[in-house]
């Protein structure tokens, strides 16, 4: 099978390419000390076009091999069920109680990585990237996403909206930041209880507890009630915003989508039935150990990956009047997560910029295609291969709070380095 290799660039080349745009993420404590810095910024569509991007990519990178893609799916499922069998067979026999717990934790982490690999393959199927045949993409995607309790078609539709509106602060649906003025207004309108929580929200223990809850349950909650909904959805009942709603009168889906949504719901029902039967056969705790904890790890990875792909001081946001597809596609970030990212997660972390420009390129051609478009994009290719992945997540979660215009009237927004305290004073 094709192998994904590391993008290798020298430190000097990276700095030279990104010197005009990069505003490296810093921790909240560091950002308080720093003065706000305005990056020099010229929108990418003044320098190149989508045609330039596509012309630069070798033609064979667009080729989708159904057999190769099916082989990757089989490989990932084989790793999942082999590891599950090994864990169920050997871990209970470990006599030392502490060692047994440590091995279970290690199992859940590794299995969560394998689950996430399946999730990423299903995501590619939703874009039609693994096969030239629609029914093959949808069949594979349904199988993998249903196994992970994701309504395949429903999420495919809403994810398409994200790709069509990336970094449009009025229409995007994935980790859309508040404009500074809106952020301040929300905090000032909080009730007394929320204002009391503000007194402790920056304490490390409070940050960790909030982050833990978010990473474990925010993904399934989003699927059920779409709590990341835009203000235009706020007045709509949660069940009509849900990824499981097939009535056709909600904000996310048309009546023509109802058949696919029902199929997705049936896939989830089938997966839940298998889990219920497994509980009856093996017991609740065993199912939690073998499937439940890895599933929670998967929730964590999906949110972490998506957040870091679309949250950084270096990328701009636009209102509708200045947004274009090309500007949105360039407003994403490639990072490096080593073997886990390149192999287990199929390069989703390392090649996301390319993915937003040409989402039907399969992951096994994405590294080559990424190298090709970097020459066209120049300084607009955003990456951070230096900051350790999880450290970048921690820093950006704490420091990237709201966006503001680079220059008044420009309608181009970047994350501000201003601290919460200074923002509220201003």
| Model confidence pLDDT, tens digit, residues 201-220 | 777 788 888 889 889 999 99
Q: pLDDT-derived band of residue 426, with 50, 70 and 90 as boundaries?
A: low
CA distances from 290 to 45, 87, 114 (A): 49, 8, 13
Q: What is the mean pLDDT of residues 310-338?
A: 96
Q: What is the mean pLDDT of residues 213-230?
A: 86
Q: Give pLDDT, residue 423.
A: 74
Residue 89 has pLDDT above 90, yes or no: yes
Q: pLDDT-derived band of residue 38, with 50, 70 and 90 as boundaries?
A: very low
Residue 190 has pLDDT above 90, yes or no: no
The CA-based dihedral angle spanning residues 28, 32, 36, 39, taken in that order and rounded to the nearest 10 degrees: -30
Q: Give pLDDT, residue 317.
A: 96
Contact in structure between 165 and 171 (CB atoms under 8 Å) = yes
Q: Give pLDDT, residue 209.
A: 86
Q: Give pLDDT, residue 46.
A: 84
**Strands, sheet with 413-415, edge to edge from the N-terminal-most edge strand:** 178-179, 402-405, 413-415
Out of 64-73, 120-129, 195-204, 408-417, which region has the weakest mean confidence (pLDDT)? 195-204
Residue 307 has pLDDT above 90, yes or no: yes
Beta-bridge partners for 188: none
Q: What is the mean pLDDT of residues 30-51?
A: 66
Q: Give pLDDT, residue 157.
A: 96
Out of 26-35, 215-224, 292-301, which region has the weakest mean confidence (pLDDT)? 26-35
Residue 28 has pLDDT above 60, yes or no: no
Other C-beta atoms lying within 10 Å of the C-beta of residue 102? 12
CA distance 2 to 8: 18
Out of 91-100, 121-130, 237-246, 253-262, which region has the weakest mean confidence (pLDDT)? 237-246
CA distance 147 to 226: 21
Quote the distance between the C-alpha of residue 334 and its chain's center: 12
Contact in structure between 241 and 226 (CB atoms under 8 Å) = yes
| Structure tokens, 15 | 């700095």
Between 26 and 333, the higher pLDDT residue: 333
Between 4 and 231, the higher pLDDT residue: 231
Contact in structure between 420 and 400 (CB atoms under 8 Å) = no
pLDDT tens digit string along 332-365?
999 999 999 999 999 999 999 999 999 999 999 9
Q: Give pLDDT, residue 250.
A: 84
Contact in structure between 242 and 226 (CB atoms under 8 Å) = yes
CA distance 71 to 392: 33
Q: Give pLDDT, residue 420.
A: 75
Q: What is the mean pLDDT of residues 110-117?
A: 98
CA distance 322 to 44: 12
CA distance 182 to 222: 22
Q: pLDDT-derived band of residue 151, with 50, 70 and 90 as boundaries?
A: very high
Ramachandran sector of residue 190 (left: φ over 0; alpha: ψ -120 to 50; beta: rest): beta
Q: How many separate helices (H) and strands (E) can be counted in the chain?
A: 20, 5
Residue 21 has pLDDT above 90, yes or no: no
Between 140 and 192, the higher pLDDT residue: 140
CA distance 2 to 350: 16
Looking at every residue in the chain, the average pLDDT score rounds to: 88
Q: pLDDT-derived band of residue 393, with 50, 70 and 90 as boundaries?
A: very high
Q: What is the mean pLDDT of residues 375-395?
A: 94
Out of 62-66, 201-205, 255-259, 349-353, which region has the weakest mean confidence (pLDDT)? 201-205
Residue 234 has pLDDT above 90, yes or no: no
Q: Give pLDDT, residue 40.
A: 56
CA distance 65 to 124: 13
Q: Give pLDDT, residue 203.
A: 79
Residue 198 has pLDDT above 50, yes or no: yes
Residue 184 has pLDDT above 90, yes or no: no
Residue 133 has pLDDT above 90, yes or no: yes
Strands 413-415 and 402-405: antiparallel
CA distance 142 to 135: 10
Q: pLDDT-derived band of residue 119, with 50, 70 and 90 as boundaries?
A: very high
Number of residues that make up the chain: 426
Q: What is the mean pLDDT of residues 224-233?
A: 76
The angle subtended at Cα 326 by Cα 325 and Cα 331, nearest 5°, is 100
- Percent of the chain, pLDDT > 70? 88
């Amino acid at each position: 099978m094709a192998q994904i290799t590391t993008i290798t660039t020298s430190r000097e080349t990276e700095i030279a390419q990104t010197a005009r745009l990069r505003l490296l993420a810093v921790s909240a404590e560091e950002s308080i000390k720093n003065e706000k810095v305005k990056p020099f910024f010229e929108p990418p569509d003044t320098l190149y076009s989508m045609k330039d991007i596509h012309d630069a990519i070798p033609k064979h990178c667009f080729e989708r091999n159904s057999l190769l893609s099916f082989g990757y799916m089989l490989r990932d499922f084989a790793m999942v069920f082999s590891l599950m069998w090994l864990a169920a067979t050997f871990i209970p026999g470990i006599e030392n109680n502490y060692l047994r717990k440590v091995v279970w934790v290690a199992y859940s982490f590794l299995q969560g990585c394998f689950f996430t690999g399946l999730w990423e393959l299903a995501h590619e199927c939703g874009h039609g990237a693994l096969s030239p045949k629609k029914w093959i993409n949808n069949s594979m995607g349904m199988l993998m996403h249903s196994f992970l309790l994701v309504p395949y078609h429903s999420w495919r539709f809403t994810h398409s909206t994200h790709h069509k509106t990336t970094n449009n602060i009025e229409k995007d649906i994935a980790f859309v930041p508040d404009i500074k003025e809106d952020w301040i207004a929300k905090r000032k309108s909080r009730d007394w209880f929320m204002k009391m929580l503000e007194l402790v929200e920056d304490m490390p223990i409070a940050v960790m507890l909030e982050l833990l809850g978010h990473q474990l349950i925010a993904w399934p909650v989003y699927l059920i009630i779409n709590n990341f909904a835009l203000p235009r959805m706020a007045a709509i009942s949660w069940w009509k915003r849900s990824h499981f709603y097939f009535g056709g009168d909600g904000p996310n889906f048309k009546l023509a989508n109802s058949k696919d949504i029902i199929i997705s719901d049936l896939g989830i029902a089938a997966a839940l039935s298998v889990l219920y039967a497994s509980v009856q056969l093996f017991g609740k705790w065993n199912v939690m150990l073998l499937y439940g904890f890895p599933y929670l790890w998967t929730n964590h990875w999906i949110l972490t990956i998506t957040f870091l792909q679309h949250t950084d001081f270096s990328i701009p946001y636009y209102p509708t009047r200045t947004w274009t597809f090309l500007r949105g596609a360039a407003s994403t970030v490639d990072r490096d997560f080593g073997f886990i990212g390149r192999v287990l997660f199929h390069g989703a972390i390392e090649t996301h910029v390319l993915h937003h420009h040409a989402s039907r390129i399969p992951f096994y051609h994405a590294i080559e295609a990424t190298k090709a478009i970097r020459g066209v994009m120049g300084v607009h290719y955003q990456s951070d291969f230096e900051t350790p992945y999880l450290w970048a997540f921690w820093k950006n979660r704490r420091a990237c709070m709201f966006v503001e215009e680079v220059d008044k009237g420009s309608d181009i927004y970047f994350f501000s380095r201003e601290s919460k305290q200074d923002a509220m004073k201003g």
